[in-house]
Structures are given as C-alpha cells and as structure tokens.
Homo-oligomer: A and B are copies of this chain.
Amino acid sequence: MVGGGNDAFIGGVHRIASRIDGRFDLVAGALSSTPEKSAASAEALGISRSYGSFEEMAKAEAAREDGIEAVSIVTPNHVHAAAAKAFLAQGIHVICDKPLTSTMEDAAALEKLVADSDALFVLTHNYTGYPMIRQAREMIASGELGTIRIVQAEYPQDWLTSPMESEGLKQAEWRTDPARSGAGGSIGDIGTHAHNLACFVSGLEVESLAADLQAFVAGRTLDDNAHMMLRFAGGARGMLWSSQVAPGNENALKLRIYGEKGGLEWSQEDPNYLWFTPHGEAKRLLTRNGSGASAVSQVVSRIPSGHPEGYLEGFATIYSEAADAIRAVQAGADRATAMGQLPGIKAGMDGMRFINACVASSKANAAWTNL
C-alpha cells in the first residue's frame, strides 16, 4: 500500500475492503510522506515491510521472491501517477484510488504506461461494486427499461459547508487544494463518482455537458458545488449535481434512470434497495438477495436479504474481482478479458475528461463542451 498512513480515511477503507473476502494479505507499505511516519504507521498496523518511498518499495518488492503481487495506491490525487508508474514499471499490478490523477498530462502519460504494461490497472470506483448497482446495469442492458431517455445523477454532501480547510481538517485541506486535488473540487472528489455510476449503470457515454461551477465558501478556489446538464450519445439527456455544501446530506449519491418502458431509482445511503417501476405498473422494491434479485447481484452478495451489506462490502467486491483478474492473467488470460467490467484506465480517463469538460464549460459560461 502506498499512502494510507495514520489519519487518512481512505487507507483504512482499502485495508478492510481487501481483507473482507480473504483474498489479499497486506505485507508491505510506503504509508506516509516520510520514512519515519511511514514506519510508525506500518508498525501501528502490523505491516512488516515498511519503505521510505514508493520508488524504493517498488524496486525492493520486485526483487523479492515473495514480493507483492499488487499494490494499492491511496495517496492524494497528485501522487497517483508517479506511484502507479513505479509499480507498473516493475510489472506489479496496481489498484488505484480515484480520480486517476490531478492533471490531464499525468493522466495521458499514465494511460500510455498502462497500455504498454503487462500488469493490470484497477481504479476503485467502488460504488460499481454494490449488488443492486450490478442488477440495475443488467436490467438496462437487457432492455427492461427500453430506450433510456433520462439520467438524473446527484452526489450532495455537507461537510464543506463551513471553511473546514481553514480549521485544520487534513481531509479538507488537500481536497480543496488544486495542487494536490487537481482542477476539480466537488466534481473531482464526488462528481466523478456520479458520472462514473451514471455511465456504468445506463451503459451510455456522456457526449457533452454544460456546467455551472461554484465555490460558495469564501476563499475556496476549487468548486464546492456543481450543476450541469448532460447529453448522452444516442439521445438521452441528464442532469448531474455534486455539492459539498448542502446541509443535511452525508454521502447522498443517488441515481435515477428512466426509459420508455420503466424507471429505476437507487440511493447509496440505502444501497440494498432498488426501486423499479415497469411503466403502468406498481413500483417494486427489489432487495439485495431478496425476491426479485437477479443472479448478477446475488453473485456479489455475501449474506441473506434483510441483513444489510454496506459500503465496505461493495468496496470489497472491487478488490475480490481484482484478485480474480490477477489470477486470470497469471493463468494466461488477456488483460481485457480478465478485467471484465472492473473499472480501469478507461474509467479513469473518462473521469479526467469529465473534470476537464466541467471546468472548461463553466469558464465558457456553461457552453456545451464535449468530453
């Protein structure tokens, strides 16, 4: 693991997620920005091999007989590209947090590296691991909603309603800092999730968007609220709202998709439920592993219906599928086949293009901008 030292929220998430299905052991890390901090974090976590930098770690692990098979990169965004490069160069599989990088240049370079590498590159768009999201995607792909017309995506939060970055909150500091986060504030941190999920479930690509970004909190340079309209290839239309300044919203990612024949509604905070309305019939509550749950959702479920699975289990599914993919390439499968529907470099580039288009559109007074 690279990053994820004490105080980092997302590192702990990756560690639990990798453990839930028993497919990974965490044995080495470059957990912090200095060797001393890294060593302290490693000791606290019981990780035996601690390194002072990711470059050192990549080389040393590649040289070991029992070196790591895969690395998790969970640093702030601006470190993703360099760290991924170091491990890919050694043929070590990379599991990387999103968004892909902090700049388009880094992203393009990384895309090339991944294309040229034999190693896998997995981007943890974790929400795609929720069982009912898998089912929604399948229902649309199989035509249960007919031609899709409307996609409403939103991801409001409230934790940056006040200027937390001035009050010593580390999470707030780097996430509102262009040097570490990149050009996107809310759109990079959470808008990319909403965009990714809208495309993953609908099976559609955003062709162009018209975005109006705001930084409502005084002194903030990156957007903390973004409104946009979407045009999808094929004619569907949509809206996307991301916000970090909407009091009463924790991680209220919500997706609603409507087609000629029916509608689907899903909310991340209550992820075991999927609302399905076949047009002209009563609304139905489909539940994870319950009546109405399909095979694709059951295969990524662990426990019976009515016993809620949550965020960590959805995240764990990405890790377990990454393990499957690694075993598959080791057994000779080609990388595309091994990856299946796992989010990878394409999802990462789509996210970068999304951020860039948002920023460009907003600067042009919300002019339609192609991705």
Contacts and interface: CB of A to CB of B under 8 A. Distances in A.
Given A13-B303, A305-B250, A245 B280 contact: no
A263 interface: yes
Contact of A311 (B275, B281, B284, B308): B308
B306 A302 contact: no
A304 B270 CA distance: 15
Given A210-B229, A278-B247, A303-B312, A16 B9 contact: no
Given A16-B302, A246-B263, A265-B248, A280 B285 contact: no
Given A210-B210, A306-B252, A280 B269 contact: no
Contact of A263 (B248, B278, B279): B248
A291 B271 CA distance: 21
Contact of A152 (B241, B282, B308): B241
A139 B241 CA distance: 25
B19 A22 contact: yes
B279 A247 contact: yes
Contact of A366 (B21, B46, B313, B366): B366
Interface string A155-171: 00110011000000000
Contacts of A291: 277, 280-283
Nearest to A283: B285
A368 to B, nearest CB: 6
A196 B195 CA distance: 30
A21 B19 CA distance: 8
Contacts of A251: 304-307
Contacts of A279: 158, 161-162, 247
Contact of A243 (B150, B228, B246, B292): B150
Interface in A250-281: 250-252, 256, 258-263, 265, 268-272, 275-281
Given A277-B248, A287-B282, A241 B243 contact: no
Contact of A306 (B250, B260, B366): B250
Contacts of A321: none
A206 to B, nearest CB: 13
Contacts of A278: 247
A95 B211 CA distance: 40
A227 interface: yes
A33 interface: no
Contacts of A237: 212, 214, 225, 227
Nearest to A305: B250
A216 interface: yes
Contact of A310 (B248, B261, B308): B308
Contacts of A271: 308
A249 interface: yes
A234 interface: no
A149 B246 CA distance: 9
Given A157-B306, A304-B250, A306-B250, A312 B20 contact: yes
20 contacts: A9-B304, A12-B302, A149-B225, A150-B216, A150-B225, A150-B246, A210-B212, A210-B366, A212-B231, A239-B241, A245-B258, A248-B258, A249-B263, A251-B304, A252-B306, A268-B307, A269-B308, A282-B287, A310-B310, A366-B368
Interface of A: 9, 12-13, 15-16, 19-22, 46, 149-150, 152, 157-158, 161-162, 210, 212, 214, 216, 225, 227-229, 231, 237-239, 241, 243, 245-252, 256, 258-263, 265, 268-272, 275-287, 290-292, 302-313, 365-366, 368
